[in-house]
Structure 1
Amino acid sequence: MPTPRETILAALHARLSVLPATALRGEVLPERVPADGLMILRDGEPGEPEVTLSPLRYHYQHRAEIEAVVQGSDRDAALDTLVAGLGAALAADRTLGGLCDWVEAEAPRVVDLPVEGAASLKAAVIPVMLHFSTADPLG
């Protein structure tokens, strides 16, 4: 049985998969970026939990990251559309079907990545905070 953390990350990946861009999880950047763009979910860090007693609960603010990448002639508009679509997808269900308390993206960090012999890439790293509680830090 998967842990709550894994279940939440899988649900976040599923949420990304409804967007037109290709959604991967934990993969390296492929040689070719699909025309609709690419999003790679990085599992990130759970951080130090707040702990409550009676009942024992560990409250996490898990920081995952999504790398959004586009390539082509109008990279600025394409990345903006991709990031806006991600924002709308997260806002549609802030609890990922009740799996976590709250999901919230932070502002993207945008970079241009030159590619020798091809159109350069435009990418953004978007931190996503996943707020959830569990009875066991390993479970």
Structure 2
Amino acid sequence: MPSKREQVIEAVGALVRGALPKATFYRNEVKQKTIPINGYVNVDDGDPGEPEVTLNPTTWIYEHEMPVEVAANATKTVKAEARLDAMLQAIGTAVAADRTLGGLCDYLQVGAASTEPLTAEGAPVSRLAVVAIVAVYGTTDPLN
């Protein structure tokens, strides 16, 4: 059975894939050179940070931050900014609908997006956003 950390990362990936079923999904990939027609999303494992520890029973409580990159190209009829905004809204809606990842974590939240252009000379106009999804969860063993 995967560790609690891995279960949470996989559940966040599944949540994002469900929110953006047409986008190409990656995990822990470097920034893509080309953006597929329906955009892409990359969920990074991130950093669980320093846990708080409670005793009796001993429990490590993490606020695990996972960066999620979302990218979109402009089309002939829709600007890259509008496509990216729709993708980000879909992720926000999915997080709001399942703040515990089906009971796997205590709370799931998403931060504000930071955006940047990705356009290279001669390429379609594109935008990239990075959002942090933070999962708060506890485990009785930090490695399992």
Task: Identify the TM-score tier after normalising by the shorter chain.
Answer: over 0.9
TM-score, with length taken from structure 1:
0.94
| Local SS of the residue matching 1:9 | helix
Measured after TM superposition, the shift of residue 22 of structure 1 is 2.0
Identity among equivalent pairs (%): 40
Instruction: Give 1:131's match in structure 2, choosing from 122, 131, 136.
Output: 136
Structure 2 CA distance, aligned partners of 1:45 and 1:28? 17
Instruction: Give 1:117's match in structure 2, choosing from 122, 128, 137.
Output: 122
1 or 2, which has the higher strand percentage?
A: 1
CA deviations over 1:10-41 (Å, ceiling 9, x no partner): 01111111123222111223333122211100
Instruction: Give 1:103's match in structure 2, choosing from 104, 108, 127.
Output: 108
Measured after TM superposition, the shift of residue 116 of structure 1 is 2.8
The amino acid of 2:33's aligned partner reads E
| Local SS of the residue matching 1:44 | coil
Instruction: Report the aligned-residue RMSD.
Output: 1.2
The amino acid of 1:68's aligned partner reads V
Instruction: Give 2:48's match in structure 1, choosing from 22, 41, 46.
Output: 46
The amino acid of 2:62's aligned partner reads Y
Structure 2 CA distance, aligned partners of 1:102 and 1:13? 16
Gaps of 5+ in 2: none
Aligned residues: 139
